[in-house]
Amino acid sequence: MKKIVLLSVILVLIVLAQGDVWACGCPGRVEDITKAVAKDFNQSSMVFSGSVSAAEWIPTIEKNSSGQKIKAETLVLKFVVDSWWKGKTKDEVL
């Protein structure tokens, strides 16, 4: 019984001790994250925040490395845009 209580306390402490985290990392980069974000921002054609409102797999035909046509699928995501920082100012983006 003591082990269960101790494990429960440890689990609660781990959950409560979580700090700020980045949504994604930049493995292999030696630059500091601020420089990496600025560089990616400058190289991007559009930058926005929003949420995915729909997802659909579209069948496509692609060529593999030997030139043969193969069946594939492309995932198309529809975003509802909350804020724009760069690019077109539409309410939705595919």
Tell me, what's the pLDDT at 3?
66
8 Å CB contact between 60 and 69: no
Q: Where are the domains of the chain?
A: 2-93
- 23-50, pLDDT tens digit by residue? 565 565 555 777 878 888 899 989 999 9
* Nearest-angstrom CA–CA distance, 29 and 26: 6
pTM for this model (two decimals): 0.53
pLDDT tens profile 65-75: 888 999 989 99
